[in-house]
């Protein structure tokens, strides 16, 4: 396989956050993957949403590609990245299932918690230090809240009671915790793409959610191996974490 040596990767996304480099688990997932693969990249905050309407997206040598998963697969093919090559098809199927739990289920429970049950208060607090005109933030967030509520309803999870949703979200994290067990990484001794995603979701739960969130509590108290995994990934791939936070000074 020919491996691209000469390349530029621009990651388009929202500005850095005050408590985590990004408020989006998909951006953390992607940046961690790029770091794990030792691919250099730059960030651009001018147009955070792709033509598909989501963040992140990238421009690779002038070509636009959207969706963290599609981007990972594209870059893996271009650069011969084989983090999961040692896994059997059966184990890869489990990894795919874990991804669906987190991206297509847990993420929505989390969004309901942040955007709907708490009346976007937490999200407002998160954005407060950023240099966005103060009047603009609540207006945009309220518009996003209504679209988030609608998305969760269409997905299905938004039709359940808050207590039911919180139980489901907690059980999603519990499943990831049970599968991780005492292993160093999700799939054993070597980190794979799934670790980037788990990290994205635990960063979101631990660093961007407030301490009364059930998902903060899940990572901080209930499932200590998730917190150990979070710390390990942060230390390994984000030694510059503090420099990547939005600088309030
Ligand atoms: N499947 C997408 C999901 C990306 C995603 O949902 N991003 C959220 C931010 S965390 C977003 O852009 N939401 C805007 C919207 O849904 O309108 C990926 O993996 O990149």
Q: What tens digit of pLDDT does each residue of 166-186 get?
A: 999 999 999 999 999 999 999
Q: What is the pTM of this model?
A: 0.95
Closest CA to 194 of 105, 100, 111, 107: 100
Q: What tens digit of pLDDT does each residue of 28-76 get?
A: 999 999 999 999 999 999 999 999 999 999 999 999 999 999 999 999 9
How far away, in angstroms, is 53 Cα from ligand 1 center?
Answer: 8
Closest CA to 106 of 39, 25, 178, 186: 25
Q: What tens digit of pLDDT does each residue of 237-247 get?
A: 999 999 999 97
Mean pLDDT across the stretch 112-132?
82
How far away, in angstroms, is 182 Cα from ligand 1 center?
Answer: 31
pLDDT of residue 249: 55
Going by pLDDT thresholds of 50, 70 and 90, the confidence category of residue 2 is low
| Ligand 1 pocket, residues with Cβ under 6 angstroms | 24, 26, 53-56, 67-69, 147
Give the CATH fold of the 9-79 domain: Glutaredoxin (3.40.30)
pLDDT of residue 99: 98
Residue extents of the structural domains in the chain: 9-79, 89-238
Domain range 89-238, CATH architecture: Up-down Bundle (1.20)
């Amino acid at each position: 396989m020919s491996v691209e040596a000469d390349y530029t990767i621009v990651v388009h996304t929202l500005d850095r956050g005050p408590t985590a480099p990004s408020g989006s688990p998909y951006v953390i997932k992607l940046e961690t993957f790029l770091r794990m693969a030792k691919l250099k990249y730059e960030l651009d905050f001018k147009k955070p949403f792709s033509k598909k309407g989501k963040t992140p997206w990238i421009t690779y040598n002038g070509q636009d590609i959207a969706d963290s998963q599609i981007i990972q697969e594209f870059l893996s093919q271009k650069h011969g990245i084989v983090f999961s090559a040692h896994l059997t098809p059966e184990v890869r199927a489990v990894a795919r299932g874990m991804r669906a739990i987190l991206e297509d289920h847990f993420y929505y429970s989390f969004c309901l918690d942040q955007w709907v049950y708490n009346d976007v208060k937490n999200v407002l607090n998160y954005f407060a230090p950023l240099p966005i005109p103060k009047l603009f933030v609540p207006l945009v967030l309220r518009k996003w809240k209504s679209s988030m509520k609608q998305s969760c309803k269409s997905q299905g999870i938004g039709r359940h009671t808050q207590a039911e949703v919180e139980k489901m979200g907690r059980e999603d994290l519990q499943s990831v915790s049970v599968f991780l067990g005492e292993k160093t990484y999700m799939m054993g001794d070597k980190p794979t793409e799934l670790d980037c995603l788990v990290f994205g979701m635990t960063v979101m739960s631990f660093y961007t959610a407030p301490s009364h969130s059930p998902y903060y509590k899940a990572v901080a108290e209930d499932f200590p191996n998730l917190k150990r995994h979070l710390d390990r990934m942060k230390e390994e791939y984000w030694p510059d974490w503090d420099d990547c936070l939005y600088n309030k000074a």
